[in-house]
């Protein structure tokens, strides 16, 4: 018997003593009696506990499953922490001044005592089922999605009917008489993961963001203590969700609710890490207690219509509604680069009273997740979060993007003890990676076809992503790491052969291995390739394959049976579908074409007659400027419409410098020029300077000089090209003192050192396609059917359809993807047609560039197109300005 744990009676005694010592802070009452007559104790902690029921509250329930002792242990420790730190710790004082903690340390006292004294693996309560079996799984006995079953022996037998048990009745009575409960946390073991509540449908819920952030912020507090990373996993609705659980019962009543699975083992044999698990959860609980008020009637309302106005390769303009009742509030904007991220000071990017924010300095082709809440200036009470906004920035002009998924026969795992079946694992089972007693050592294998990437691609960014779906088999804390290796496909004749996969010598193992305590479930794991690793991907382009092996620990410490992680492959019976498939995101550019253009014509232009074929600049005998002019034709560069100039420079070489001249500096500019004569040059339209000025000293040392085009100058070059205009470059000298008869001679057209315009370019479509026209929504057999007209353009690749329940999706990534393909229609197969929502349809090319979307708002009785007006805000401002406001 492990004496370190308190018995139920010892817990009650300890709390009774605490109540005597802190009568204003803590109160204890019984909320019902169990089958065996034990009182179900509810502890209330709040400053001036007599008024506790008037404050927003956190409800804690522990040990509803008898063997999951962490619930009661953590409860006692958390109460002790509050009492020890009141009033010395201001965070504790603030949490308890504004909020109330309701805590049932053990919701299953009979089962807990049975587990402690007789059979540690006991889970249910101790109802006598009358057939020789005992127990109801209390967490299957609540009224939401309750399932009738006659299998009384089952460990998850839910009881004869919903709320048949005194324990669930007691908590039901309490919750129904306490509307101040805003957050409910149900503590279980094991898994180091949060399981937020569900509403059993495929629609995003308005509270979905709040739930994820609540869990993420708690996970962040845990991480601060032990560096352990808790997962956040909402499961895939509506299948695979449990029946009759407390979590959904609370959530159904409008309470933010989550299960917290603590530790890596669920029975009381995990003493080694018990104190770690308790300690790391205390700050998380304090955070949750302190934030209950932000979800109460006292809080400002959730901001509405949080959306994007515009997005480019490097910035995003976010906007939201501002109502007059928000005048006493400001907004907090948070940005993260992964979903289910915390919102803390660390990623708070703006505090503003405006209803718009422009986020600059973003990376191209990257995903960003934005969160927004209001804060009352005076009370500092915060609002719930607006539904999360997801964007992917556009690609830079020279970039292409490609997301690769493996085919079913290219994704699977090979096990040491499952050799006869390894081939069947491909496209079928999840990836089991690590080691356990039944499968032995297991490797994940993913074989990407990369032959669709052009062989001249230059990889700029590569990220491999895997979705961890279950970490229950990883039972040992702080043991082992998981990593990804690139294998040479030529070394492997059969990717389903364990021995070959095990024996392969990796070309490279990606830099960042994941430690066991960083393994989460429900949060994508990404491996971003380093420069050297990207080079390896590039080297594989010729072979057309990128073969990855994922490996975990390969042996078990004594007395352990499993350290195995399960990742989704998105195929097979247990797979979550395409959204959960392993993937490789590549951003690349292509090796450019290179042309060196000689000038077609040049002049020296001064007050005198222009001299054709001679190239000089400086000052004439009167001290007036002499210009050198060169004309270039871009006609040999084909396909003006779809090329991107990636680099350009102008090279010019001096023949002789004037002696005894004062120092001069030489500048080169692109100009619009009517004629190569003095008047035209004087009146020229200066378009852009190139590169840096060159001094006469530089020129004396290095006669050949390069003037680089910056991005804006390159755009002008593209413009000239598309308008089939001649490019005129003017070179001239400046000087600090007036000079006479100081001329530089430049090598001219017929010289070997003639001036050149050097251009590098790639072929790539720049403009997105047309917006799909005539988007319509109709109801067909209870499903929303969307239809639109085809886009008639050569570069058309497909349509991309997205749904968002809260705001019009202006980025293809801001919502649930419904369809990508060439058809002119799709059905929303999982959406609930009774809930109003927005649909956007984008067309895209092979870059891909996405068009401005066609968007509509659908509700069962009305379908309204959404018209985007990009410049509305500016127009408004101008109008007011013109009106003299």
Interface residues with Zn ion (CB under 5 A) are 65, 68, 188
Cα–Cα distance, 500 to 516 (Å, whole number): 26
- In a 10 Å sphere around its CB, with 0-12 CB exposed, 13-18 middle and 19+ buried, how is residue 669 labelled? middle
Are the beta carbons of 563 and 474 closer than 8 angstroms? yes
- 30 Cα distance to chain centroid: 45
- The residue among 115 and 566 lying less far from Zn ion, judged by its C-beta, is 115
Cα–Cα distance, 228 to 263 (Å, whole number): 10
Min CB(280)–Zn ion separation in Å = 19
The CB-nearest residue to Zn ion is 188
Q: In degrees rounded to 5, what are phi and psi of residue 271?
A: -50, -35
- The residue among 68 and 207 lying less far from Zn ion, judged by its C-beta, is 68
Min CB(155)–Zn ion separation in Å = 10
Q: Tell which residue, 210, 182, 224, 228, has the closest CA to residue 59.
A: 182
- The residue among 188 and 392 lying less far from Zn ion, judged by its C-beta, is 188
- The residue among 107 and 816 lying less far from Zn ion, judged by its C-beta, is 107
Q: What angle do CA 77, 80, 82 make, to 5 degrees?
A: 110
Min CB(68)–Zn ion separation in Å = 5
Helix (H) or strand (E) holding 208: helix 208-226
Min CB(120)–Zn ion separation in Å = 14
Q: In degrees rounded to 5, what are phi and psi of residue 168?
A: -70, -35
- The residue among 98 and 127 lying less far from Zn ion, judged by its C-beta, is 127
Helix segments in 441-522, DSSP class H: 498-503
DSSP string, 143-157: STT------TTSTT-
- The residue among 65 and 126 lying less far from Zn ion, judged by its C-beta, is 65
Min CB(40)–Zn ion separation in Å = 17
Cα–Cα distance, 81 to 69 (Å, whole number): 19
Instruction: Copy the structure tokens of residue 197.
Output: 């509540």
- The residue among 263 and 772 lying less far from Zn ion, judged by its C-beta, is 263
Min CB(576)–Zn ion separation in Å = 23
Instruction: Copy the structure tokens of residue 484.
Output: 């990804």
- The residue among 266 and 296 lying less far from Zn ion, judged by its C-beta, is 266
Instruction: Copy the structure tokens of residue 243.
Output: 């029946």
Cα–Cα distance, 841 to 775 (Å, whole number): 8
A 10 A CB-CB count for 145 gives 18
Query: Which residues, including other chains, have CB under 8 Å from residue 151's CB and lie 6 or more apart?
Result: 157
Min CB(313)–Zn ion separation in Å = 47
Helix segments in 292-407, DSSP class H: none
Instruction: Copy the structure tokens of residue 287.
Output: 């955070």
- In a 10 Å sphere around its CB, with 0-12 CB exposed, 13-18 middle and 19+ buried, how is residue 605 labelled? buried
- The residue among 66 and 232 lying less far from Zn ion, judged by its C-beta, is 66
Min CB(65)–Zn ion separation in Å = 4
Helix 90-98 to helix 271-291 angle (10° resolution) is 60
Cα–Cα distance, 118 to 133 (Å, whole number): 15
- 220 Cα distance to chain centroid: 16
Helix segments in 541-690, DSSP class H: 678-682
Min CB(242)–Zn ion separation in Å = 10
Min CB(141)–Zn ion separation in Å = 13
- The residue among 65 and 335 lying less far from Zn ion, judged by its C-beta, is 65
- The residue among 68 and 110 lying less far from Zn ion, judged by its C-beta, is 68
- The residue among 281 and 540 lying less far from Zn ion, judged by its C-beta, is 281
- The residue among 123 and 182 lying less far from Zn ion, judged by its C-beta, is 123
Min CB(478)–Zn ion separation in Å = 23
Helix 90-98 to helix 70-85 angle (10° resolution) is 110
What is the DSSP-derived secondary structure letter of residue 782? Answer: T
Please name every residue paired with 651 in a beta bridge, in sequence order, or none if there are none: 706, 756
Q: In this structure, are strands 39-45 and 26-33 parallel, antiparallel, or unpaired?
A: antiparallel
Min CB(873)–Zn ion separation in Å = 52
- Residues comprising the chain, all counted: 885
First CA to last CA across the chain, in angstroms? 81
Min CB(67)–Zn ion separation in Å = 8
Min CB(189)–Zn ion separation in Å = 7
Min CB(436)–Zn ion separation in Å = 22
- The residue among 246 and 365 lying less far from Zn ion, judged by its C-beta, is 246
- The residue among 188 and 721 lying less far from Zn ion, judged by its C-beta, is 188
Virtual CA dihedral for 216, 217, 220, 225, nearest 10 degrees?
-130
């Amino acid at each position: 018997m492990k004496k370190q744990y308190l018995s139920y009676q010892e817990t009650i005694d300890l709390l009774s003593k605490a109540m005597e010592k802190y009568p204003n802070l803590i109160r204890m009452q019984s909320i019902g009696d169990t089958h065996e007559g034990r009182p179900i104790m509810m502890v209330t902690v709040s400053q001036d506990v007599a008024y506790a029921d008037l404050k927003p509250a956190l409800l804690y329930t522990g040990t509803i499953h008898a063997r999951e002792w962490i619930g009661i242990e953590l409860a006692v420790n958390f109460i002790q922490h509050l009492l020890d730190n009141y009033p010395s710790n201001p965070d504790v004082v603030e949490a308890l001044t504004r909020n109330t903690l309701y805590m049932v340390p053990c919701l299953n006292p009979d089962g807990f005592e049975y587990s402690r004294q007789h059979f540690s693996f006991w889970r249910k309560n101790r109802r006598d089922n009358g057939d020789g079996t005992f127990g109801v799984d209390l967490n299957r006995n609540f009224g939401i999605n309750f399932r009738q079953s006659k299998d009384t022996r089952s460990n998850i037998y839910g009881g004869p009917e919903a709320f048949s048990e005194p324990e669930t009745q007691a908590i039901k009575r309490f919750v129904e008489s306490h509307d101040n409960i805003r957050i409910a946390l149900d503590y279980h073991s094991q898994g180091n993961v949060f399981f937020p509540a569900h509403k059993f449908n495929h629609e995003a819920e308005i509270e979905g963001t709040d739930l994820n952030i609540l869990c993420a912020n708690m996970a962040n507090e845990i991480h601060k203590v032990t560096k352990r990373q808790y997962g956040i996993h909402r499961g895939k609705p509506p299948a695979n969700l449990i029946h009759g659980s407390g979590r959904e019962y609370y959530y159904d009543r409008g309470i933010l609710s989550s299960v917290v699975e603590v530790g890596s083992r669920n029975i009381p044999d995990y003493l080694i890490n018990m104190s770690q698990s308790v300690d790391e959860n205390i700050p998380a609980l304090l955070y949750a207690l302190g934030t209950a008020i932000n979800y109460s009637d006292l809080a400002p309302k959730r901001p509405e219509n949080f959306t994007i106005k515009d997005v480019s390769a490097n910035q995003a303009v976010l906007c939201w509604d501002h109502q007059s009742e928000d005048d006493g509030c400001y907004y907090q904007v948070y940005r993260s680069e992964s979903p289910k991220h915390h919102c803390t000071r660390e990623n708070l990017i703006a505090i503003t009273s405006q209803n718009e924010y422009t986020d600059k300095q973003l990376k191209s082709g990257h995903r960003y997740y934005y969160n927004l809440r209001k804060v009352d200036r005076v009370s500092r009470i915060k609002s719930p979060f607006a539904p999360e906004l997801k964007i992917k920035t556009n690609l830079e002009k020279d970039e292409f993007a490609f997301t690769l998924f493996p085919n079913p026969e290219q994704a699977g795992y090979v096990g040491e003890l499952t050799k006869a079946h390894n081939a069947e694992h491909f496209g079928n089972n999840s990836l089991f990676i690590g080691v356990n007693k039944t499968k032995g050592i297991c490797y994940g294998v993913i074989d990407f076809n990369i032959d669709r990437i052009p062989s001249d691609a230059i990889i700029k960014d590569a990220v491999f992503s895997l979705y961890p779906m279950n970490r229950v088999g990883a039972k040992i804390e702080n043991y082992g790491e998981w990593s990804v290796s690139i294998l040479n496909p030529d070394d492997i004749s059969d990717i389903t052969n364990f021995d070959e996969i095990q024996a392969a010598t990796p070309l490279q193992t990606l830099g960042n291995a994941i430690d066991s305590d960083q393994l989460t479930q429900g949060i994508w794991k990404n491996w971003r390739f380093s420069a050297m690793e990207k080079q390896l991907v590039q080297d594989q382009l010729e072979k057309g394959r990128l073969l990855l092996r994922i490996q975990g620990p390969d042996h078990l410490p004594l007395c352990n049976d499993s350290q195995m992680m399960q990742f989704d492959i998105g195929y097979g019976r247990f797979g979550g579908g395409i959204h959960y498939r392993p993937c490789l995101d590549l951003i690349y550019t292509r090796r450019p074409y290179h042309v060196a253009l000689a000038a077609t014509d040049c002049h020296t232009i001064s007050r005198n007659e222009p001299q054709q074929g001679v190239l000089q600049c400086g000052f004439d005998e009167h001290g007036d400027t002499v210009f050198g002019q060169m004309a270039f034709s871009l006609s040999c560069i084909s396909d003006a419409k779809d090329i991107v100039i990636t680099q350009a420079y102008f090279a010019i070489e001096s023949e002789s410098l004037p002696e005894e001249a004062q120092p001069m500096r030489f500048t080169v500019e692109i100009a619009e020029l009517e004629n190569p004569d003095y008047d035209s040059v004087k009146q020229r339209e200066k378009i852009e300077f190139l590169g840096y000025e060159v001094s006469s000293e530089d020129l004396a040392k290095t006669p050949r000089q390069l003037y680089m085009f910056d991005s804006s100058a390159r755009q002008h070059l593209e413009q000239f090209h598309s308008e089939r205009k001649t490019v005129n470059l003017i070179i001239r000298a400046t000087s600090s003192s007036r000079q006479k008869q100081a001329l530089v001679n430049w090598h001219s057209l017929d010289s070997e050192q003639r001036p050149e315009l050097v251009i590098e370019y790639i072929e790539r479509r720049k403009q997105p396609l047309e917006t799909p026209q005539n988007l319509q929504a109709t109801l067909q057999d209870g499903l929303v059917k969307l239809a639109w007209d085809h886009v008639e353009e050569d570069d058309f690749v497909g349509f991309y359809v997205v749904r968002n329940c809260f705001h019009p999706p202006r980025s293809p990534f801001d919502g649930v993807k419904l369809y990508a393909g060439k058809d002119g229609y799709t059905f929303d197969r999982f959406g609930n047609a009774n809930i109003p929502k927005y649909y956007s349809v984008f067309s895209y090319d092979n870059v891909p560039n996405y068009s401005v979307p066609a968007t509509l708002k659908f509700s069962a009785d009305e379908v309204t197109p959404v018209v985007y007006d990009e410049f509305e805000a500016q127009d408004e401002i101008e109008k007011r300005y013109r009106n003299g406001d």
